Structure 1
Amino acid sequence: MALFRNRKSRSIKASIEPSVSVEDGNEGHKPRSIKQLRLTRDKTTKSLGDERHSKGFAVLYIQRQRSLYPHSIPSSRKGTPVNKAPPSHNMQPPRAGTPANMAPPSGIYMAPPSGTYMAPLPQTGTPTNMAPSYAPPPAPNQAWTGIQPAVLHKMPVPNNDTDGDTDKFSVMTLKFEVPLNHQAPAKGETLVLHAELVYGSKGSERGAAPVVKHEWKRILGAKPFLLFLCGGPGDGNSHRRIPLLNHFALRRGYQVLYVDYRGTGRSYPISPSYIAVNNPNKAAADAEAQRKANYLALFRQDNIVRDLEAIRLCLTNIIAQSSVAAPPPSTSASGSKTAALAAKSSKTKHASKTAKPSKPVTQPAPAPAAPVAPPQPVKWTLVGQSFGGWIALTYLSFLPESLAGVYLSAGLAPVGAGAPDFVYAALAQRIAQRNEAYYARYPDDVWHVKQIVAHLDAASSSSSTTSNGGYAVKLPGDARLRLTAQAFMTLGRAFGAASAVIAPGPPTSKTTPDAYDALHQLVERASFDIANYNVLSDGALVLAAALFAGGFRLHERPLYGVLHEAIYCDGPGYSSSWSAQRILLTHFPAGQFVWTDPSFSATKPSPAITAAVMNDGTAKLYFSGEMVLPAMVPAPLRSTANALARKADWPALYDSSALAANRCGVTVRAVAYADDMYVDLELARRAAAGIRGAQVLEAWNGWKHGAIKEADKTVAVLEALFDGKPLPV
């Protein structure tokens, strides 16, 4: 640990600073030091898109961009890293007092409460919550063997973090170094992952305890880990996301670990400038796009699971290393510090006196030391929300021995679907249902929406309205979004926060508008401006900006745009091929989604269906939901996105036979929401039916996809997951 004690040494500091590859537009990868990055990272970069693609949903990146793409971060540390432990410390019997994060004991099976759904269990004669003891171990999956422990990148940093005025937590920041490709690790190709550990709260006995020297090791080994997996893909995972989850977990004896997935948050996020391809030479541009696509393919949930497993192994080794430290000095009569000090004092006091010879005193033999059990390997208790559930079920498929429990909120991935077409075919029906509910409340918007689409399409085709050939709305971070007809029609993503079926008429709440009402306010204002002034007012653009700010945010999380369909490609032979666009066009022959066609033009409706829809006063244009369409991806990013859409050699994401066996008896409980627009309830039921012992609680009447993140619903969802309590109606 001398490396960390002598922080003032310039030579040591230089030796621990990694090099980072930075991708700037057309330039190649250039290794730069952290010091150089600090000098250059604040330079403003612009990605103005391609104005020639007038129908594109291009984001004009005029905000300050950090191109911190880590192509190679070689580890320069020497010697044995802190996460190396003696190989003998691998197993330990469960500790007394461990909270209920372990698999249920043999022979005990709790019937689900009323209103729940339990996956069928095989009739084997063995306890229903355990795998048969005589079952042979499965053959190792070569794609999931040989994962090496992550390396603790630097000394953990403590801080007392305050969320608002009420929530205060003791948080430890950790950095872990992992290979870019776990299956074929290469020297110098590593990633550094950012993690935050919530280990105490205001008023707890260790809430204000400073983390000094080796204190952080004791904290890591003091409590079992609850690992929260956030939604995405592409989102960061801050510990501030759900404060009530932290309080809930701490009260139950856990510490909560948040990890920014690779390429997101503070784990060196991938910037749009890296994904962009601007080479005018088509052959060179195609080669660059393919190279970047192959690189980004390493950022799906399968490699996220490998990262988390490497972190688990690292923590296991650190805890094992700290637990074998020398015991404190003995307090027995023959060797205590008190006895030694007393003897020294007596010798000094009577040094001038002639001591008489004394009879030898026979000391009792010390009692043999009790055997110390080696530390128990870390096991995760996973809480996954939305895409976090996709990660959790991949983990359960291939590395179940690393898990103590799996709890999912709107996170039952479509296991067994194979290709994204099956997923989007189900979700498209839910989108249609929401659109019908919207138009039932606001029937006049049937015509107003088409009026706005025609106006935006004409404005994007000329420069008469604004100086840049269309409208633009300002997004957080000084980014700007081109408000095209296609962009406007993607605002249906917000329908996921509204009820599926509603009565006609205005919303009952007068304080906060729901998702339908918020969109209607924009439609009403925009249609008024067009009818009276033939131009959108600043007020309409402000309303649009508010809706887009909570939308896809591809300027902040470009991985969401380029990998969104890839997370549904389960195994070789499946390519996404822009699945959502194909499904919306083929499953709705009446033309409700005709605007998703790349050749769509309201001013020159060449397909007969387009003219029929736009001229028929009763025909409806449907808004899309949580689908990523080619027109939504900014023009500079489309070459890479197209290469990923063509990719058909994806690795498998799930193992259906392993989930059906659940050989480690991992507790699996999930909450599925009947009104979920993003995760189809029927597909969620099928997924749960394929997991042995999985219990599903279905929530109806107003419970939505993000309920676990809503302050008035968080505790109820967590109690349903951990205790099996039915959600209130």
Structure 2
Amino acid sequence: MIAAVPFRSTSYRTFKKIALRDHVFEMPLDHHQADSPRIEVFAREVVGSKRVHDDLPWMIFFQGGPGFPANRPMNEGGWIGEVLKTHRLLLLDQRGTGLSTRVLPQTLARFATAQEQADYLTHFRADAIVRDAECIRHSLLEPGQKWKGIGQSYGGFCLLTYLSFHPEGLDGVIITGGVPGIQGGAEANYRHTYVKVREKNEAYYRHYPEDDARVREIVAHLLDHEVTLPSGGTLSPRRFQALGLLLGMDGGFEQLHYLLEKAWVDGSSGRELALDFLMAVEAAHAFDSNPIFCILHESIYAEGEATDWTAERLRAEFPEFEIRRSERLLFTGEMIAPGMLDDFVALRPLKACAEILAARSDWGPLYDRKQLASNKVPTAAISYFEDMYVPIEKSRETALAIPNFYQWVSNEWEHNGIGTEGPKIVSTLLERLESPRL
């Protein structure tokens, strides 16, 4: 049952031409059980400082991830500023993230067993996030008032779930870099992803050919030595390989290159990996501080089937990603493997929980394909031709199956285009929503 829920709000706080107001909503952990335990879901309202009392249409933002909080606005610029020209914006901290009741290794440690941890985490997927949003709409907006949704990356997955089960709450949808492949499950998506990641590696080494030797030297060292990171975690060859997560973002090639070029120093025992390099490696990964991103990542594709560590199973089909001494290393992207939990100190106690979730086969539906095939909500999306995380082939397949869906395909930006050219992208998509020939 979707209905208004209890909530509390602050007064508006104004700075740098924007006004902010915080809202905290009391949500059922399980929307299908009346006596479910309660959690908190946080959302921050943003509006132009001179338009606080104006009757503006609402837009709700769904962040990428899974498992990451919404933006923390610092000024009136970027894509948020573009939205504020015409809308009142709600930045949603999806359940488990930000200032919502958080999912962290510390909070999961409160459960007595791995099974209890896994049972709890099953309530943190897109279906629950969308029901939260609908409860918020019923609580915060006027009766019958709809809003637009805007979603980046995984936020676009959430919005297709929204269009599937609660289209009555939306009067428009914008998706940036997040039109999901909804056919073929995790396996179909990861097969495409491996190909995209291989292409990114090839482009990276063409751009920085000198890094081939640097990477080989680091890999050889990691194969021969157990390297402990400042936090106590392990820099295994596989954890180093996972730095390829950077390659799909604007500026990611440079981030990785600048990281590699400072890898070594001469220490008391000779040549060794530099402390600032090791600290930067740790900072490049958020698996431990955002465990949803690791443990529930593959479940974003799961409907009635076990994921069973899909990316790791498919790795055998792509032997070029194997780590071999003295051979070129291909970095990986969003490929989650069970061994990753060994490399992160905070995640080691969650290994049993992760295995339970990977084996779970009774995941509920994330999409209603019949409803999507009759969609009436105007939807405009940008998909990036070379996207390493959301393969264009699967995005295109989905977009062509949904009416009233405009898809702008571009190779001008990477996956985080909204962060580099947000005003241009958002203004273009907003214009398309108004087009009579969407």
Distance in structure 2 (CA, Å) of the matches to 1:403 and 1:553: 32
Contact 2:180-2:398 at 8 Å conserved across structures:
yes
Partner of 2:344: none
Closer, same or farther: CA 625–160 of 1 in aligned 2, 3 Å: same
Distance in structure 2 (CA, Å) of the matches to 1:483 and 1:200: 45
Contact 2:48-2:85 at 8 Å conserved across structures:
no
Distance in structure 2 (CA, Å) of the matches to 1:521 and 1:224: 44
Distance in structure 2 (CA, Å) of the matches to 1:523 and 1:534: 18
Alignment of 1:621-700 (within 5 A): 621-633=329-341, 634-662=347-375, 665-700=376-411
The gaps in structure 2 that reach 5 residues or longer are 342-346, 434-438
Alignment of 1:112-127 (within 5 A): none
Question: Displacement of 1:535 after TM fit?
Answer: 4.1
Distance in structure 2 (CA, Å) of the matches to 1:698 and 1:237: 25
Contact 1:673-1:705 at 8 Å conserved across structures:
yes
Distance in structure 2 (CA, Å) of the matches to 1:495 and 1:454: 22
Closer, same or farther: CA 722–193 of 1 in aligned 2, 3 Å: same
In the alignment, does 2:129 pair up with 1:301?
A: no
Question: Displacement of 1:444 after TM fit?
Answer: 4.9
Distance in structure 1 (CA, Å) of the matches to 2:264 and 2:45: 50
Structure 1 window deviating more from structure 2 (652-661 vs 520-529): it is 520-529
Aligned amino acid, residue 147 of structure 1: I
Correspondence for 2:238 among 483, 486, 496: 486
In the alignment, does 2:82 pair up with 1:227?
A: no
Contact 1:158-1:170 at 8 Å conserved across structures:
no
Distance in structure 1 (CA, Å) of the matches to 2:259 and 2:73: 31
Structure 1 window deviating more from structure 2 (233-242 vs 267-276): it is 233-242
In the alignment, does 2:4 pair up with 1:179?
A: no
Contact 1:673-1:698 at 8 Å conserved across structures:
yes
Distance in structure 2 (CA, Å) of the matches to 1:534 and 1:657: 64
Partner of 2:217: 451
> After superposition, what is the alpha-carbon deviation per residue over 1:97-141, rounded to whole angstroms, capped at 9, x for unaligned?
xxxxxxxxxxxxxxxxxxxxxxxxxxxxxxxxxxxxxxxxxxxxx
The gaps in structure 1 that reach 5 residues or longer are 1-145, 207-218, 279-284, 321-376, 461-469, 474-478, 499-513, 596-612
In the alignment, does 2:276 pair up with 1:542?
A: yes
Aligned amino acid, residue 114 of structure 2: A
% identical equivalent positions? 33
Distance in structure 1 (CA, Å) of the matches to 2:264 and 2:336: 26
Cα RMSD after superposing both structures: 2.5
> After superposition, what is the alpha-carbon deviation per residue over 1:75-117, rounded to whole angstroms, capped at 9, x for unaligned?
xxxxxxxxxxxxxxxxxxxxxxxxxxxxxxxxxxxxxxxxxxx
> After superposition, what is the alpha-carbon deviation per residue over 1:224-268, rounded to whole angstroms, capped at 9, x for unaligned?
21111111111111441784333322322x211112111111012
Distance in structure 2 (CA, Å) of the matches to 1:487 and 1:642: 19
Distance in structure 2 (CA, Å) of the matches to 1:529 and 1:627: 34
SS in 2 for 1:536: strand
SS in 2 for 1:298: coil
Question: Displacement of 1:525 after TM fit?
Answer: 4.1
Partner of 1:249: 83
Distance in structure 1 (CA, Å) of the matches to 2:72 and 2:152: 14
Partner of 1:430: 196
SS in 2 for 1:490: helix
Question: Displacement of 1:172 after TM fit?
Answer: 1.5
Contact 2:379-2:404 at 8 Å conserved across structures:
yes
In the alignment, does 2:39 pair up with 1:191?
A: yes
Question: Displacement of 1:683 after TM fit?
Answer: 0.7
Correspondence for 1:471 among 222, 225, 228: 228
Closer, same or farther: CA 199–517 of 1 in aligned 2, 3 Å: closer
Distance in structure 2 (CA, Å) of the matches to 1:177 and 1:149: 10
Contact 2:6-2:25 at 8 Å conserved across structures:
yes
> After superposition, what is the alpha-carbon deviation per residue over 1:168-223, rounded to whole angstroms, capped at 9, x for unaligned?
31112111111111111215x1112111111332xx254xxxxxxxxxxxx5x932
Aligned amino acid, residue 150 of structure 1: V
Contact 2:25-2:41 at 8 Å conserved across structures:
yes
Distance in structure 2 (CA, Å) of the matches to 1:556 and 1:168: 32
In the alignment, does 2:11 pair up with 1:158?
A: yes
Partner of 1:394: 161
SS in 2 for 1:232: coil
Closer, same or farther: CA 715–448 of 1 in aligned 2, 3 Å: closer
Contact 2:23-2:44 at 8 Å conserved across structures:
yes
SS in 2 for 1:312: helix
SS in 1 for 2:120: helix
> After superposition, what is the alpha-carbon deviation per residue over 1:147-188, rounded to whole angstroms, capped at 9, x for unaligned?
232222x3x2123243xxxx331112111111111111215x
Correspondence for 2:69 among 225, 236, 239: 236
TM-score norm. by structure 1 comes to 0.55
Task: Tell me the number of residue pairs that the alignment of Structure 1 and Structure 2 aligns.
Answer: 427
Question: Displacement of 1:564 after TM fit?
Answer: 0.7
The structure with the larger Rg is: 1
- Whichever structure has more helix as a proportion of its residues is 2
Distance in structure 2 (CA, Å) of the matches to 1:516 and 1:718: 25
Distance in structure 1 (CA, Å) of the matches to 2:13 and 2:35: 37
Alignment of 1:1-20 (within 5 A): none
Distance in structure 2 (CA, Å) of the matches to 1:645 and 1:276: 19
Partner of 1:324: none
Closer, same or farther: CA 274–315 of 1 in aligned 2, 3 Å: closer
Distance in structure 1 (CA, Å) of the matches to 2:318 and 2:42: 44
Contact 2:265-2:271 at 8 Å conserved across structures:
no
In the alignment, does 2:147 pair up with 1:380?
A: yes
SS in 2 for 1:472: coil
